[in-house]
Every structure is written in C-alpha cells, then in structure tokens.
Amino acid sequence: MAIILSGKEAAVSFKKEIQIKVKKRLAERKSAPHLAAILVGDDPASSAYVRGKVRDCKEVGFKSTLIHLKDDVLQEELIQNIQMLNSNSEIHGYIVQLPLPNGINEKEILLAIDPMKDVDGFHPENVGRMALGLKTYLPATPYGILLLLQFYGIETTGKNAVVIGRSHIVGSPMSILLSSNIEFGNATVTLTHSRTKNLEEVTKNADILIAAIGKPSFINKNFIKDGAVVIDVGINRVSGKLHGDVDFDSVKDIVSAISPVPGGVGLMTRVGLLMNTLLAADGRD
Ligand code: NAD
C-alpha cells in the first residue's frame, strides 16, 4: 500500500512550528511577519490562491496586506505599487501573483521587486543565490516539496530523481535543489521537458519522480519504476475538478509513496511562502 504524502498533514505541522516562532518574536517585542500580495485582475484561480495565502497568514499570526489592481492597470502603475512596497519598512516580503494580464511585461515587474523582499524567490539575485547554495528565499513550490520529503523522511541522497518540466518556478529550481549538497538534496537528477526523447525510458529509472507538466493524468504506470516516490505538482482543472499530472489510480499500486492532488504540493507551496516570509522578517542576509 502506497504512503500518501499528505500536504494537509505536513502543512498543519509546519504551520504549528511557524506559529511558535511568531509568538516568540512577539514576546521579544519584534513585529509580526508581514506579507503583502499584489493581485491584478479577477482570474478565479489567482484570486483563490491569494485568498488562501491571506488565510494562512492569519492562521500563523502574520500580518497581511492585499493590493488588488484592475486587470487594465498600466505597467507604470503596477511598478509604482511595487516601489511603494519596496520602501515600506513595515512590509517584510511580498509577492506579485502570476500570471499577469497581457500587456504587462512580467520580466520588468520581476526586476522591480526588491530582492530582500522577494519571498517568491523569483528575482535573478535570489535564483543565483539558490544556485550557489547561499541563504535565500527558495521558490515556494520546490521549497514546499523539500519540506514534504523532510516531513515523511524520504531519503534523497544518491537516489535517481527525475523532474519533468523545466519552468522557472517549479521544474528548473527543483532540479537545482535536489542535486545540491543540502539536506534532502544530493540526488542524481535528470531534468526532462517537452523535447525529451523516450520520456518513459528516462522516468522508469526514477527512484523519485517529480511531475510538473500541466497535463492532466499524463503520467501513468508505464512511466513508473516499482517502488518509486511520486510527487505530483500538476494542478489542472477539468470540468471544474482538480487533476494532477499523474493518473493516481493507474500508479497507486506500483509506487511506494505519492502526493495527492488536491491535498498535496499545493498546500506545501503555501507553507514555503510562509517560511520565506518568516525569513524576510529576520532579514534574508
Ligand atoms: P509550465 O507550463 O511553465 O511548464 C511545463 C513544463 O512541462 C515545460 O517545461 C515543458 O517543457 C514540460 N512539458 C510539457 N509537455 C511535456 C511533455 N509531453 N513531456 C515532457 N515535458 C513536458 O508549467 P509550470 O508553471 O511549471 O506548472 C506545471 C504544473 O504545475 C501546472 O499544472 C501548474 O498548475 C502546476 N503548479 C502547481 C503548483 C503547486 O503549488 N502545486 C505551483 C506551480 C505550478
């Protein structure tokens, strides 16, 4: 019977740890960590993610500020809001919820964020620090996956890990972290993507398989080695229902452990963001 890597259970435990740290800060007369989020437009998925992040802040004792801008906001106006957050010393960290509407240059927005407050860990300075193993904000989804592996004591050292997907927010940083000389790293990592040939042959070698593709139920038992640990990052809405990138029913009797969708990585991504905000409150460096 496969172990279910429950993001729900792990998140409860990590949030308790965060709550304790916040209480300690307050007892030391330090301010509560303060996260801000900029949400542009009314995309239902983005709105739901941001609402979830605000709820999380409340739960662990953080302050939160939501800046909601119309979807026809001008690039300059968005940058002004970012500059306001950069200079507001009461805000420790903030995120700009992606994706942004057409007409907004995401790269320019990213570069306008103060790297010290970039709790999504997407600014090139923080990506570079991650790659060099320096203290930084880790991108929330790969960070959350490392915490999930830690919670369930899944050993990664010397294991063959295959990551599917090379996005800047999930697959690419995941491959860097898993191959780094860190706790829950030290794996031998293969990063695969849409141009990879014979994907099934590659994934069949994976002791740990991380699927971040964005295609519902794409990974079935033909891709899986017996006893593999499978982390399903995909969040795909099909007729109003959430599906992962992995066909859970097809693989559940072969794998040794698997994260469900929903109730898996999504909740851990939110924990990653809370951890980064806590770090921001202490100062990244
Ligand atoms: P993306 O579209 O930026 O990247 C998808 C990647 O999949 C690309 O690198 C592409 O090369 C690869 N790919 C596409 N087709 C492939 C194929 N046939 N074979 C091998 N590789 C293929 O997506 P993303 O932002 O990395 O997100 C991936 C999925 O994870 C989405 O479903 C997204 O909703 C979900 N996601 C979940 C969380 C979470 O917290 N759980 C966070 C971010 C993204």
Preceding amide of 262 cis, omega within 30:
yes
Phi-psi region of 239 (alpha: psi -120 to 50; beta: other; left: phi over 0): left
Q: Whose CA is nearest to atom 14 of ligand 1?
A: 194
What's the whole-number average pLDDT of the chain? 97
Q: Topology of domain 29-114, per CATH? A: Rossmann fold (3.40.50)
- Does 266 sit in the ligand 1 pocket, CB within 6 Å? yes
E-strand ranges in the chain read 3-4, 34-40, 63-69, 93-96, 160-164, 188-192, 208-211, 229-232, 236-238, 241-243, 257-258
The tens digit of pLDDT for each residue in 175-220 reads 999 999 999 999 999 999 999 999 999 999 999 999 999 999 999 9
Q: Whose CA is nearest to atom 35 of ligand 1?
A: 234
Q: To which residue do tokens 């740990």 refer?
A: 208
> What is the value of pTM for the model shown?
0.97
120 catalytic residue (yes or no):
yes
Q: How far is CA 46 from CA 74, 110, 209, 243, in A?
A: 19, 17, 27, 17
The tens digit of pLDDT for each residue in 18-42 reads 999 999 999 999 999 999 999 999 9
- The mean per-residue pLDDT over the stretch 34-62 comes to 96
- Does 188 sit in the ligand 1 pocket, CB within 6 Å? no
Angle between helices 265-282 and 140-151 (to 10 degrees): 110
The tens digit of pLDDT for each residue in 59-87 reads 999 999 999 999 999 999 999 999 999 99
CA of 115 to the centre of ligand 1 (A): 25
At residue 150, what is the residue type? Q
Task: Report residue 88 as tokens.
Answer: 């507001």
The CATH class, in words, for 140-266 is alpha beta
Long-range contacts, 26-31 (Cβ 8 Å, 24+): 26/61, 30/281, 31/63, 31/90, 31/281
- Does 263 sit in the ligand 1 pocket, CB within 6 Å? no
Task: Sketch the domain layout of the chain as residue ranges.
Answer: 29-114, 140-266
Preceding amide of 101 cis, omega within 30:
no
Q: What pLDDT score does 73 carry?
A: 97
Cα(241)–Cα(111) distance, integer angstroms:
35
Q: Does pLDDT of 258 surpass 90? A: yes
Cα(121)–Cα(141) distance, integer angstroms:
10
Cα(271)–Cα(280) distance, integer angstroms:
14
- Does 139 sit in the ligand 1 pocket, CB within 6 Å? no
Percent of the chain with pLDDT over 90: 98
Q: Residue 243 in 3-state DSSP?
A: strand
**Which phi and psi angles does 239 have, rounded to 5°?**
45, 50
Task: Report residue 157 as tokens.
Answer: 């050292």
70 catalytic residue (yes or no):
no
Are 29-114 and 140-266 equal in CATH topology? yes
If one residue of 233, 246, 269 were mutated to test the ligand 1 pocket, choosing by the most ligand atoms within 8 A of its CB, it would be 233
Cα(193)–Cα(260) distance, integer angstroms:
22
- Does 233 sit in the ligand 1 pocket, CB within 6 Å? yes
Q: Does pLDDT of 285 surpass 90? A: no
